[in-house]
Amino acid sequence: MRASVLHFLRRFWHGEYRVAVNINDYLDIYCPYYEGPPSHGRMERYILFMVNHEGYTSCQHRMRGFKRWECNRPSGPDGPLRFSEKFQLFTPFSLGFEFRPGHEYYYISSPHPNHVGRACLKLKVYVRPPDGSGYDSPEPFLTDGGPCWRPGSMALLAVLTSLLLGLFSWL
């Protein structure tokens, strides 16, 4: 593997990836996909969870976390699975999630039960206030009660999506 890919993998595994989004932005998650026939044991399968800060730091989804998606078709006939998260204040769906500006949200992966020992991948998502000012709202489920992460530079969702897609194509 190239050095840049190894650096990317190290950052993702150590929980250093953060992205800042606005309300009504989408974040696309692409699951690992294999066109050729690699051995069944090498195909990666993950269960992706949204967790609180404690679950994020310890990489434990059992700490006030819940399953968001499952990457369980690494060689499906329709290509890679893609899941989208829409960061919205209100959702019309009973199982939808509502996000609040000025808060951080945490995602982790857990290997599929048949693939124990794989790395825990982590991602922090910060929802920016609409005008860059503070936003005073009730604390939603699963957010960290501590100070919010403020992005030093504007991360683009397209870059993250490209990096994630690139990561999974290298594996």
Name the residue among 40, 23, 41, 43 with its Cα closest to residue 32. 43
Mean of pLDDT values over 133-160: 42
Phi and psi torsions of 146, nearest 5°: -80, -175
What was the pLDDT predicted at 147? Answer: 38
* CB 32, CB 75: distance < 8 Å: no
Report CA-CA distances (Å) from 103 to 48, 73, 87, 99.
20, 32, 11, 8
Write out pLDDT tens, residues 77-122.
788 888 888 999 988 887 778 899 999 999 988 765 554 556 788 8
Q: How many domains are contained in the chain?
A: 1
* CA–CA gap between residue 17 and residue 10 (Å, rounded): 10
Using 50, 70 and 90 to split pLDDT, how confident is the model at 133? low
Whole domain around residue 50: which residue ranges?
Answer: 3-170
Name the residue among 166, 167, 158 with its Cα closest to residue 21. 158
What was the pLDDT predicted at 73? Answer: 78
The CATH number of the domain holding residue 135 is 2.60.40.420
Please state, for a pLDDT cut of 90, what percent of the chain lies above it: 15
What was the pLDDT predicted at 12? Answer: 52
Highest mean pLDDT out of 22-36, 54-68, 130-144, 145-159: 22-36
- Return the higher-pLDDT residue of 161 and 44: 44
Order of strands, sheet of 122-127, starting from the edge strand that comes earlier in the sequence: 18-21, 122-127, 104-111, 46-51, 66-71
pTM of the model: 0.64
What was the pLDDT predicted at 127? Answer: 95
Write out pLDDT tens, residues 15-41.
568 899 999 999 998 888 888 766 666
Ranges 53-57, 90-94, 98-102, 140-144: which has the least confidence = 140-144
Say yes or no to pLDDT of 150 above 70: no
DSSP per residue, 75-130: T-TT-S-EEEEE--S--SSTT-----TT-EEEEEEEE-GGGTTPPPPEEEEEE--T
Using 50, 70 and 90 to split pLDDT, how confident is the model at 125? very high
* CA–CA gap between residue 9 and residue 164 (Å, rounded): 10
* CA–CA gap between residue 21 and residue 84 (Å, rounded): 13
* CB 52, CB 158: distance < 8 Å: no
